[in-house]
Every structure is written in C-alpha cells, then in structure tokens.
Amino acid sequence: MISEFRKVLVIAYYFPPMGLSGVQRTAKFVKYLPKYGWKPTVLTVSPTGYYAADETLLGEVEAAGTKIVRASSLDPNRLFKKQGVVKMPSERMRKILQYAGDAVFFPDTKIGWKSKALKAASELLGREQFDVIYATAPPQTDFLIGEALKKKFKLPLVLDYRDAWLDYPFKYYPTPLHRYAHYRMEKRVLKAADRIIVTVRRVKESILKHYLSLDYHDVIIIPQGYDPADLKLGTGSRQSARRKMRITHAGTFYADRTPSVMLHALHNVFRDVPQMRGRMELSLIGNVRDEDRALVNKLGLQNEVKFHGYLDHQECARNLMQSDLLWLVLDNDFQSPGKLYEYIGTRKPILGSVMEGYIRQLVLETGAGKCVELKDLKAHEDALRDLFVKYERNQLPQISEDFAAKYNREVLTGELARQFESLMDIDKNAFLKLEDEAS
C-alpha cells in the first residue's frame, strides 16, 4: 500500500460529466494514477452545454477519490445560455460554427475559460502543495493555463497532445498570419514544457518538423487505450447470436468521416445478393445526423441499419462486445481515435475505412483487421461479402491477448506516472535558477 502520494494538478476543460471521446483519456488516467502513487486534482469547467453527457465516467473518477475543482467560463455555449445536452448541428452548420470560431477566438473558443481557471488554480496552488502540472489539449487554452501556472508557481509542466495543434486537420486558419500566430504560440508553450506527450507518431513527427529546437527524445508517445473494466462490464450473450452478423461503428460522423460509402455498399450487396438481407445489420452508436438518417431511408435500409444515438461509455462497451465486426472510418492520419483502441480491447475483428498511414498500419498489425480506401465503394462491397462468408463459417479472426495488452489504460497510466516521477529527479534549486534565467 502506498503510504505517501505525490500530487498532480490536471487541467482539462473536457471532463465528465461531458461525454464523447475527448474526455476518455483524461478520465482513465485520473482513475488509475493513484495506483502508481499519484493523487490527481482536476481543474475543469463548470457544467455547460455539450453534445453528450456521461455520468458513469464521472462516477468512476469520483469513486477513485478524485478531487474536482470547477471554474465557470465565457465560451460560446454559455453566452447563448445553453445547458445540458445540446443537439449536434448539421454538417453545414458545424462547418459554419467552426470557421466562425476559428476566425474570432484565439487560440480556440474556450479562451473565455482561461481567466476563471487561472484564478481557481492559483487559489488551489496557494493552499496545497503540488508536484506536477499536467495539461491536456484540445482545447489549446488548457496549455496556456498550464504555461501560466508553471511560470507563476515554478512547477514542472507536462503537456499531453490528444490531437495535433498547428497541423490539426480540422483547424481553419483565415489567413497565413493566423497560422503564424498559432505557430508562435505553440512554440512558446512547448518551450515552457518539461515533458511533451502525444498519442500517435504522426503528431510527434509534426511537432519535431516545425520546432527544430526539440530533440526526438523530447516528445514521448503514450497511445490511446482501453479500460479492461469497461469491457468486462460489457460482456454478455447476444440475443441474436448466430442469426445475424452485426457490424458496429462507435463515434461521431463529421466532415469526410461519414457512413455514406458503407451505406451504399450495404445497399448494393443486398441488391446483388438478396439472401444476405436479414443476415447482416449495421449498428451506429453516436449522435445521429439528420443527413445520415435521410440517406438510410432513401436507400431502403431502415431494417438493416440501427441508430442508437449517444450511449454512456459502459453501454457502448456492452454493444461493442455483443458485435461480430467493428467498423472504423477515419479521413486523416493525424488523429488517434480512441474508439480504435476500444475495438482492440474487445479482441473483435476490425474493418477500417482509412487512408494509407499509421492508423491503417495499426489496424493491419492487429492480425484481425481488414482495410479499404475511405471512398472506394467496390472495395467496401467486396469486404462485406468476404467478411460475411467468414462469419458464416465461424472463421472471423480475433485479436491476440498479447497484442491487446499493450493498450491497457492501466498499464499506459503507469508510463505517464513514470514521466511524472522522472521530473522529481530535477534539482529544485537548479530548476528555479533555470526558470529565472528564461524569464
């Protein structure tokens, strides 16, 4: 039993009860850090309007004894007085809101949280002794808060990139000057960091390409993962076992990440091989867009495509475990989708509609993955037929225990704790001297 804990202040705008994938990594780190001798206190935003809520995740971190400090914000949802779960906008409206937000707010739409968060954090750090500050982004506002606190309180700062900053594929820069301003800001924040963590190799390569003062070993990869406890809760026999092949996608569709090609492939397969209709279904977990539901109706797939809407994490895991094939769709190679690692944790076979790159490589490395080009309709049709034959013969592959074990979130949290511990070897007087010289 650990007799004395070190303490880490976690800065995370996105945190339960907010749902969606952006909260998973932080929540699971917070859940498991005490097992490695670190007691986290989370600084996050007061409840505000968001596209999903997950009380089960909040229950997990509270059960682990996590202290949560909340600070209000002036971000757009609050200005429009939206609370609770808000409806996901149409794709057209989403793009308009994103472009407007990127043009008006710097570095992001959460900058209105910074002053309130700094005040709450300063009061907390004035009362309690902490060993490390850990900030996770997006939003990049979290990094700015961490940078300011590091400068004021002379504590080591760890930055965790869940996605790229400058090269984020969905970031809109109205002019080259906007992009340059982000470059300068990111460079400054990276200079303040004592550890830089990313989830995927492509983001590491991007950072090293843009910021030449950094060395290869300055950027650490701790990948996304899965929590075995979630998947144990999700086990159970399928009511439709051996009657129908269930393909499941978990996550939000937006931009070029849509179900359109898969829906057309299903339609064509059922048209060409009528006996497959009624023997295969597509289960979509996540916020439903009106355009996706309209396409299902247009193609006459109402009986073959099931929309579940947003499910809390435990219910989502239950659905994954009761599926036969898990579908991943990704339109870039800079993101490391959390759902892929959840898929790996189930040991189920994976069909990836992905581009060439790291994610495709990872899907194939599972030994139970098949990949097709994102917009190749015929390749999707062929894959569905091939996988259905394997399903009928009970020959669908499974991911090995050894491969999946590498992405266990409890184990990955141990690597994060080791990064924290390595900062404790710094001579505090030398650390303060270096800080004074840099300022």
| Average pLDDT value for the chain | 89
- As a whole number of angstroms, the distance between CA 12 and CA 83 comes to 19
**How confident is the model over 189-202, as a mean pLDDT?**
97
Residue-wise pLDDT tens digits, 255-295: 778 999 999 999 999 999 999 999 999 999 988 888 999 99
Residue 310: the pLDDT is 83
Q: What is the CATH number of the domain that holds 378?
A: 3.40.50.2000
Is residue 51 located within the same domain as residue 64? Answer: yes
Residue 67 within any structural domain of the chain: yes
pLDDT category at 89 given cuts 50, 70, 90 is: low
Q: Are residue 232 and residue 175 in the same domain, yes or no?
A: no
Residue 416 lies in a domain: yes
Residues 309 and 391 in one domain: yes
Whether pLDDT at 312 is above 60: yes
State whether 128 and 253 are in the same domain: no
> Which of 116-120, 147-151, 180-184, 236-240 shows the lowest per-residue confidence on average (mean pLDDT)?
236-240
Range of the domain at 328: 228-403
Q: Which residue has the higher pLDDT, 99 or 27?
A: 27
Do residue 180 and residue 311 come from a single domain? no
pLDDT tens digit sequence for 314-329: 889 999 999 999 999 9
| pLDDT reading at 238 higher than 50 | no
Could you tell me if 11 and 94 lie in one domain? yes
Does the pLDDT at position 234 exceed 70? no
Q: Could you tell me the CA-to-CA distances from 196 to 164, 207, 300, 354 in Å, in that order? A: 12, 10, 49, 27
Please indicate, yes or no, if residue 144 is contained in any of the structural domains: yes
Tell whether 348 is covered by a domain. Answer: yes
The predicted model gives 73-92 an average pLDDT of 64
Give the tens place of pLDDT for each residue, 364-401.
999 999 999 999 999 999 999 999 999 999 999 999 99
| Structural domain total, the chain | 2
How many residues would you count in the chain? 439
CA-to-CA distance for 407 and 345, rounded, in angstroms? Answer: 8
Mean pLDDT of 302-306: 96
Q: Write down the pLDDT at residue 237.
A: 42
Give the model's pLDDT for residue 19.
63
Does 434 score more than 50 pLDDT? no
Position 426 in a domain: yes
Which pLDDT does position 281 carry in this prediction? 97
Q: Please report the pLDDT score of residue 27 as a whole number.
A: 96
Confidence of residue 83 (pLDDT cuts 50, 70, 90): low
Cβ proximity of 238 and 246 under 8 Å: yes
143 and 106 co-located in one domain: yes
Q: Which of 83-87, 179-183, 345-349 has the lowest mean pLDDT?
A: 83-87
The Cα 267–Cα 299 span in angstroms is 6
Local confidence band at 426 (pLDDT 50, 70, 90 cut-offs): low
Residues 218 and 318 in one domain: no
SS3 of residue 221 by DSSP: strand
In the predicted structure, residue 438 carries a pLDDT above the cut 50: no
Would you say 121 and 11 are in contact if contact means Cβ atoms under 8 Å apart?
yes
Q: State how far the Cα of 30 lies from the Cα of 167, in Å rounded to an integer.
A: 28
Is residue 1 assigned to a domain?
no
200 in a structural domain: yes
On whether both 220 and 256 belong to a single domain, the answer is: no
Rg (C-alpha) for the chain, rounded Å, is 22
Lowest mean pLDDT among 75-84, 188-197, 226-235: 75-84
169 Cβ partners below 8 Å, 6+ apart? 331, 332, 334, 335
**pLDDT digits 0-9 by tens, 125-150:** 999 999 999 999 999 999 999 999 99
Tell me: the pLDDT tens digits for 93-134? 777 877 788 788 899 999 999 999 999 999 999 999 999 999
Q: Is the dihedral of CA 309, 313, 315, 319 positive or negative?
A: positive
**364 in the same domain as 259:** yes
Assess whether 161 and 237 both reside in one domain.
no
Indicate whether 62 and 201 sit together in one domain: yes
Q: For residue 292, what are its two tokens? A: 């996706």
